[in-house]
Amino acid sequence: MSSDAPTDVAIRVTGVTKCFQIYDQPHQRLRQAIMPRLRRALGLSQRSYFQEFWALKGVDFEVRRGDTVGIIGRNGSGKSTLLQIICGTLQATSGTVEVNGRVAALLELGAGFNPEFTGRENVYLSASILGLTREEIDARFDDIVDFADIGDFVERPVKTYSSGMYVRLAFAVIAHVDADILVIDEALAVGDAIFVQKCMRFLRKFRENGTLLFVSHDTSSVLNFCQSAVWLNRGDMLMHGSAEETCNAYIEYCSQEVYGDSVKITSRQVARETVPTALKPKAKVEKDTRLEMFDNVANAAGWQSGVASIDSVVLGSLEGQPLSSFAGGEEVLLRVRATAHQALSSPLIGFFVKDRLGQSLFGEHTFTYIQPPMQVEAGTTLEASFRFTLPMLPNGDYSMTVSIADGDPFANTQHAWLHDAVLIKVASPKLRYGLVGIPFDEVTMKRVGTTE
């Protein structure tokens, strides 16, 4: 399972498969234990009393030391099974897993604690399993309890805990065992907002020196945390690449699954090296903040169904003049032009601006403002206009995703989706904090007294 030899590889998964035996009736489990041997002794042909379910099918990937890797996929894709095999709580049917370093895991709710034990007893049990001595646990116990922040409940059986309290204590333990590798499943989804923020701060600090394997259905979290991602589907590894490329492919796949046979979407894949040099943002620092815009509609990746397409995206002045450079804080007009190749009963055009990690910062769509819905015939060209104040963005690279759909915000079919229709470069000598900066009318500081 593990190796003591120094290596840059934290986790190596090679040809891992996992097959579960599914029994329709409890008595078939007993028959499976007895009958094959009896039939073999009598010279009869063999038969099985179970069905095979292959949760994993030949999964291969590596995680380098210091990397943060996301694992995505729909329910039943094999994510949790893979994590359990990596952590050693489940045995693979075939294949090998090499883990170099101490692993601490927060898997599905309920794993690792004895419900009859108190929180205190479970802290000592779990931490000792993870490799700490009694003396080390004694020294860290107060810090673990402070991090969990569950008060006197630490002296009560964990079977009396809420799901949120359980996760608080479980995460507090793995945060204090000096692990080299953290494995986090969806368990954080049940935590309250304050505790989740505390966990996120810990994980961001942990990433500076540790290796993180992160499982989530939330692609925004994967984009925010992970450099690369593994996409599992029904036991198969469909993709292992950058977090952005893998999440985009997964979102496209999920959209097709929702639409079924009613709509067939096709990818718009463009190799990064084919994007013209003139469209690539160049580092540029001026005296004042400048936002440079680059039209990338022709080279944008995404998908389309053939029912509608995005023709152009133009960001300009309120007078409609296209501009390529902005300062932020001024009123602008975004115009998105699209063509309906088939009739649409309720066309919806929208956009959102995302940062380099793929996190959505702001955006809007036409449905809220265009009522009743505008029915259009095949061959109609539409132009949606969005007038708004451009935010003051911190330095960095951004992009704009645009789309046209048919329906409403809650039930619609996306017919064209372009991930990076516009590329944006922000360069400023001023520091801005947070995801989106805002203009401040006045900032002052004065003395109001002394303590002497």
DSSP state of 427: E
Q: Are 203 and 215 in contact (CB under 8 A)?
A: no
Distance of CA 66 to the CA centre of its chain: 18
Ordered by start, the domain boundaries in the chain are 9-247, 262-427
Q: Please tell me the distance from the alpha carbon of residue 59 to that of residue 81, in angstroms, as a whole number.
A: 12
| pLDDT score of 263 more than 80 | no
Q: Are 183 and 213 in contact (CB under 8 A)?
A: yes
Total Cβ atoms within 10 A of residue 357: 15
Q: Residue 201: which pLDDT band, with cuts at 50, 70 and 90?
A: confident
For the chain, give the mean pLDDT: 83
| CATH class, range 9-247 | alpha beta
**Per-residue pLDDT tens for 56-65?**
999 999 999 9
Is 321 or 240 the better-scoring residue by pLDDT? 240
Q: Please tell me the distance from the alpha carbon of residue 238 to that of residue 329, in angstroms, as a whole number.
A: 43
Q: Residue 268: which pLDDT band, with cuts at 50, 70 and 90?
A: low
Comparing 93-102, 148-157, 394-403, the range with the smallest average pLDDT is: 394-403
Q: Please tell me the distance from the alpha carbon of residue 105 to that of residue 102, in angstroms, as a whole number.
A: 10
User: Considering the entire predicted model, what is its pTM?
Assistant: 0.71
Q: Are strands 396-407 and 347-355 parallel, antiparallel or unpaired?
A: antiparallel
Q: Please tell me the distance from the alpha carbon of residue 436 to that of residue 389, in angstroms, as a whole number.
A: 12
Closest alpha carbon to 349 in 276, 282, 415, 299: 415
9-247 and 262-427 in the same fold? no
Q: Please tell me the distance from the alpha carbon of residue 254 to that of residue 419, in angstroms, as a whole number.
A: 16
**Per-residue pLDDT tens for 366-391?**
988 888 888 999 999 999 999 988 88
Q: Does domain 262-427 have CATH number 1.10.10.10?
A: no
Beta-bridged to residue 396, according to DSSP, are: 426
| pLDDT score of 233 more than 70 | yes
Between the alpha carbon of residue 195 and those of residues 30, 171, 190, 191, the distances in Å are: 46, 10, 10, 6
Q: Please tell me the distance from the alpha carbon of residue 146 to that of residue 210, in angstroms, as a whole number.
A: 23
Residue count of the chain, please give it.
452
Q: Are 60 and 15 in contact (CB under 8 A)?
A: yes
